[in-house]
């Protein structure tokens, strides 16, 4: 199961009150734990609420005599919205400051909440005690800054849902509301005291509506017909909808809208939205109400039920929505409620008087124990699916998809560098014995090129025809990938002498140029055909720590605190970017528009496609950064001297995923096409992660 790659417990806290409802801020840094309304059926004891630090479990503030219906954090976590009641049965909805509990406004009433993605509107399914809404649960929209009621319409028993652009709202009537005008586009009817579920389609071009009354799942168009009536795009029968609890939260969809969860007295059914059939059945908890929450990515559901052969208390399990497998579980403790952070990195459980906070990660697609300390990693494009690892004096080559060993070769001395051809047919190593070795992954055949000093860096051209080396003997050399007449002593196409040892080498498009960095603190651009210097060298004031290229954009990183952005085709230095301290790691986005640099625990994300650099985000990692890589979808991967690798959205600067390992990752690389990420960890295991195209 590799549970250490799926989750780890960050903190636990025991509170003075029962924990029947929990909520997490978008980044998981704040946790709200509160006694639930008694009709939820989860525990007895003195009512109360506590705000916790999500990393330490420290209680930041608490209050007594509070029972909760529902709670949601604002996207920026500065505020949260609470609805509940006190021991005098007085109900209220309030906007509160997260770190102090100060109430900014209140409305008398209660219900279940949904916050617009932009944080400006609050939807409520419930009742306000102003006499205007009647006795049944009504759909309402409130202005978040002021608490003013903007809209009321229709009765149902499910949370209204906002579209991702916050412009439209669908309700469990069902109805569709245009929030710009606060008027319904269409309404089918009411579902008073009858469970239903409404949600926008993944593309936001329709509304999916499930009804326990009709036992159907119907998709409606956004626009009504000429008479103003809703237009049904299609419908499927879902007979299991009839076997439902007549209560709120008895129906809810997965993020991808592929699965509908139906909670019943005799069991929990996971239904297909496509055909209405049962994908999976779950038992009901033995010691309280069912709790379930989907993780933001994929079709995975966290639940508080004991999946056989587990026994009570069930704790928490994460399952797939089809089949009968359990992705991971943490049994042996009581769970009454579950919440997941918006970025998908944190799962929170509450039960009895306890809160438990889990850090979540995307597990590796494959892994390979290399049996020795890993010194370098490289990967082909995803189609070829080949990973090469330098493990002290041993080369290990395996399949990215499965971890299956393809090739293993022991060298006379430690291997310091490794590269894989884009097609996966060739693996190149450079070692301390002064040899560059090329291995054919299909036949195992090899050729060897000889330097008179340790080989510090190797590279393969994007067309797979050339191999470049940088060595301590002060030379950079270029070789044809074909073995030549003497495979034990291959002759270079050219060799270029440097004043001091050469430490880095990269190859331009179709081997049109080769760039080197040497201990004389200079970067040189050499003609791909002859090795002659085609432009004056570019100089730093201290040691050069990094060199990378995308197309003809060449970027350097130095301990002098600067990075140079160079047009390698023309020899023009486009930018010199100054940083607060030494720059030790860098990476270029696939299109060359974004540059990521790191020194210590600081990561800078810069736009470099204009006349001047623009700092997009400055981020702080958990520890000293040792690797940066961009995936094909533009996401930034950050590894540090820590067991968590962060996946960063370059637009928001937020962490959107994590790779967890039992021990820190020491080496990081992206495949040739950026669709796989390879990490070498200090437990001697190389792990491969897949990256979505979008």
Predicted confidence (pLDDT) per residue in 426-443, tens digit: 999 999 999 999 999 888
Output the CA torsion sign for 92, 95, 97, 102: negative
Model confidence at 41: pLDDT above 80: no
For residues 156 and 190, is the Cβ–Cβ distance under 8 A? yes
Strands 354-360 and 386-391: unpaired
- CA separation for the pair 110, 95 (Å, rounded): 13
Residue 134 pLDDT: 56
Tokens encoding 329: 């579980």
Is the separation of the CB atoms in 231 and 204 below 8 Å? no
pLDDT in the model for residue 284 = 83
Euclidean distance between CA atoms 625 and 72, whole angstroms: 34
Q: What's residue 306's pLDDT?
A: 82
| The pLDDT value given to residue 694 | 60
Question: What Å distances lie between residue 482 and 253, 260, 490, 510, CA to CA?
Answer: 55, 56, 9, 16
Q: Is the pLDDT of residue 457 over 90?
A: yes
Q: Is the Cβ–Cβ distance between 236 and 216 less than 8 Å?
A: yes
pLDDT tens column, 6-19: 899 999 999 999 99
Share of the chain above pLDDT 90, in %: 78
pLDDT at 1 over 70: no
Assess whether pLDDT exceeds 70 at residue 38. Answer: no
CA dist 472 → 428, 459, 517, 526 (Å) = 17, 16, 12, 18
pLDDT, greater one: 25 or 298: 25
Which residues, other chains included, contact 401 with Cβ-Cβ below 8 Å and sequence gap of 6+?
365, 366, 385, 688
Would you state the pLDDT for residue 525? 98
- Inform me whether the pLDDT recorded for 498 exceeds 80: yes
Residue 336 reports pLDDT greater than 80: yes
Q: Which residues on neighbouring strands pair with residue 356, listed in sequence order?
A: 12, 349
Closest CA to 358 of 350, 346, 343: 346
Distance, in Å, from the CA atom of 20 to the CA atom of 502, rounded to the nearest integer, reads 63
- Record the tokens describing residue 687, joined without a space: 């792990």
What number is the average pLDDT over the span 40-68?
86
Residue 92, pLDDT above cutoff 70: yes
What does DSSP assign to residue 510? G
Number of CB atoms found within 10 A of residue 610's CB? 10
Task: Check pLDDT > 50 for residue 292.
Answer: yes
Q: What count of Cα atoms within 13 Å lies in the side-chain half-sphere of residue 691?
A: 29
Q: What is the pLDDT of residue 656?
A: 87
Average pLDDT of the chain to the nearest whole number = 92
pLDDT tens column, 122-169: 999 988 877 665 556 788 999 999 999 998 888 888 899 999 999 999
Give the pLDDT of residue 649: 93
Most confident of 25-39, 280-294, 309-323, 493-507: 493-507
């Amino acid at each position: 199961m590799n549970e250490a790659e799926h989750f780890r417990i960050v903190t636990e806290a025991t509170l003075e009150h029962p924990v029947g409802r929990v909520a997490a801020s978008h980044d998981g840094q704040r946790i709200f734990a509160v006694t639930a309304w008694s009709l939820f059926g989860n525990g007895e004891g003195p009512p109360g609420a506590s705000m916790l630090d999500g990393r330490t479990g420290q209680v930041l503030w608490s209050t007594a005599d509070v029972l909760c219906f529902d709670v949601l954090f604002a996207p920026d976590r500065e505020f949260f919205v609470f609805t509940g009641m006190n021991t005098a049965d007085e109900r209220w909805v309030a906007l509160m400051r997260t770190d102090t509990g100060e109430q900014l406004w209140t409305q008398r009433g209660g219900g279940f909440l949904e916050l617009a993605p932009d944080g400006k509107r609050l939807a409520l399914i419930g009742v306000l005690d102003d006499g205007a809404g009647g006795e049944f649960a009504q759909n309402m929209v409130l202005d978040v800054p002021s608490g003013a009621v903007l809209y009321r319409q229709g009765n149902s028993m499910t949370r209204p849902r906002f579209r991702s652009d916050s412009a439209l709202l669908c309700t469990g009537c069902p109805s569709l509301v245009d929030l710009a005008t606060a008027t319904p586009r269409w309404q089918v009817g009411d579902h008073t005291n009858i469970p239903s579920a409404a949600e926008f389609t993944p593309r936001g071009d329709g509304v999916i509506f499930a009804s326990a009354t009709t036992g159907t799942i119907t998709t409606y168009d956004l626009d009504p017909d000429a008479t103003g009536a809703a237009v049904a795009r299609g419908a499927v029968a879902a007979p299991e909808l009839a076997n439902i609890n007549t209560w709120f939260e008895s129906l809810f969809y997965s993020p991808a809208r592929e699965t509908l969860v139906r909670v019943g007295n005799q069991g929990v059914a996971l239904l297909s939205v496509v055909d209405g059939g049962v994908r999976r059945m779950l038992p009901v908890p033995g010691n309280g109400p069912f709790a379930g929450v989907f993780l933001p990515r994929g079709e995975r559901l966290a639940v508080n039920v004991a999946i056989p052969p587990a026994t009570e208390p069930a704790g928490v399990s994460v399952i797939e929505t089809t089949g009968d497998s359990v992705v991971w579980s943490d049994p042996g403790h009581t769970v009454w409620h579950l919440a997941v952070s918006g970025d998908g990195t944190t799962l929170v459980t509450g039960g009895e008087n306890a809160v438990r906070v889990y850090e979540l990660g995307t597990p590796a697609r494959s892994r390979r124990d290399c049996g020795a300390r890993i010194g370098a990693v490289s990967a082909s494009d995803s189609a070829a699916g080949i990973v090469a690892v330098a493990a002290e004096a041993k080369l290990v080559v395996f399949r990215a998809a499965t971890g299956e060993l393809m090739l293993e070769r022991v060298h006379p001395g430690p291997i310091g560098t490794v590269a894989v051809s884009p097609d996966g047919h060739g693996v190149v190593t450079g070692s301390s014995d002064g040899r560059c070795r090329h291995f054919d992954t299909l036949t195992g055949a090899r050729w060897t090129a000889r330097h008179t000093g340790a080989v510090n860096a190797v590279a393969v051209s994007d067309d797979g025809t050339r191999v470049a080396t940088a060595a301590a003997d002060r030379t950079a050399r270029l070789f044809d990938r074909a073995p030549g007449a003497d495979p034990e002593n291959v002759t270079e196409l050219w060799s270029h002498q440097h004043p001091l040892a050469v430490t880095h080498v990269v190859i331009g498009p179709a081997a049109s140029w080769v760039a080197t960095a040497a201990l004389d603190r200079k970067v040189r651009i050499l003609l791909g055909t002859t090795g002659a210097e085609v432009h004056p060298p570019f100089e730093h004031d201290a040691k050069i720590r990094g060199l990378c290229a995308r197309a003809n954009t060449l970027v350097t990183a130095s301990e002098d605190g600067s990075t140079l952005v160079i047009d390698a085709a023309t020899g023009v230095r486009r930018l010199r970017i100054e940083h607060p301290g030494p720059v030790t790691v860098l990476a270029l986005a696939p299109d060359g528009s974004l540059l990521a640099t790191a020194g210590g625990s600081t990561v800078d994300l810069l736009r470099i496609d204009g006349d001047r650099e623009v700092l997009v985000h400055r981020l702080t990692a958990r520890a000293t950064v040792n690797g940066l890589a961009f995936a094909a979808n533009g996401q930034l991967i950050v590894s540090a001297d820590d067991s968590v690798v962060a996946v960063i959205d370059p637009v928001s600067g937020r962490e959107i995923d994590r790779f967890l390992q039992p021990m820190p990752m020491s080496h990081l690389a992206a495949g040739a096409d950026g669709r796989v990420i390879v990490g070498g960890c200090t437990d001697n295991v190389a792990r491969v992660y897949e990256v979505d195209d979008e």
